[in-house]
Amino acid sequence: MPVLVASLMVASASNFYNDFDITWGDGRAKILNSGELLTLGLDKASGSGFQSRNEYLFGKIDMQLKLVPGNSAGTVTAYYLSSKGSTWDEIDFEFLGNLSGDPYILHTNVFSQGKGNREQQFYLWFDPTADFHTYSILWNPQRIIFSVDGTPIREFKNLESIGVPFPKNEAMRIYSSLWNADDWATRGGLVKTDWSQAPFTAYYRNFNANACVWSNGVSSCGTNSSPSTSKTNSWLSEELDSTSQERLQWVSKNYMIYNYCTDAKRFPQGFPPECNLS
């Protein structure tokens, strides 16, 4: 019973005042509407960011974002899970700004034990600046699934059996930041930030974490990571059904613009082992 209660508590409606701390930006980040809306700001002097008060070890995390509109070239809005230390784990969404009218690039990556180099990039099938859309990370012991408005765009499976490190031992916080990366973000740094468009603003709402909170070495989901029989914790063993697999293939075919598993120049000694499993 305590497991179920803890999970329900974590999955309750969020309030940014309760769930997050603004960590930098000197007033450029704001919590508004009685805690229902959070905005990050960027100007020539500084960006801004926030982090979750809780640490999580597995979870299904949703956040609605509305990205910087207009000419957002040079800006990056990062939304990710990360642990600390030199062998950190990390699960990334990064939104690379672009010239007005050009599509944003959604950049994803997975780090385990301090190593990443697993980038996949996508265009989106909608304008992410016109309205809020839900960006989700499902992270359980078997897989990580990145989703947009419920459509899976990427799956990273636990393939430790063939020597691929998988993030499963370190609790992670949620972080987000809006910052200037015009040395690389837009067309490899060719397009610089137009500061006459500043301040730039990204918007956040409807955070939800159905997750195992990690506190003082104890998980709110119990002592092990085996799937719970509770329906509330069904995400702990969730996988893609046939319909979701079809959606994933649709995104991969039509919207993926970069995949590390097809970049032979980067891996002259051979692709990482997970790339050989189609």
Residue 155 appears among annotated catalytic residues: no
Residue 119 appears among annotated catalytic residues: no
**120/46 Cα distance (integer angstroms):** 28
* Secondary structure (3-state) at 131: coil
Residue among 87, 83, 107, 79 nearest 184 (CA):
107
244, burial (CB in 10 Å: exposed 0-12, middle 13-18, buried 19+): middle
Listed in sequence order, the residues at least 6 apart from 175 whose beta carbon sits closer than 8 Å to its beta carbon are: 49, 50, 51, 52, 78, 79, 80, 81, 82
**152/154 Cα distance (integer angstroms):** 6
| From 90, 119, 170, 246, the catalytic residue | 90
Residue 250 belongs to what H/E stretch? helix 242-255
| From 94, 119, 155, 239, the catalytic residue | 94
Q: Rg of the chain over CA atoms, in angstroms?
A: 19
**86/74 Cα distance (integer angstroms):** 28
Catalytic residues: 90, 94
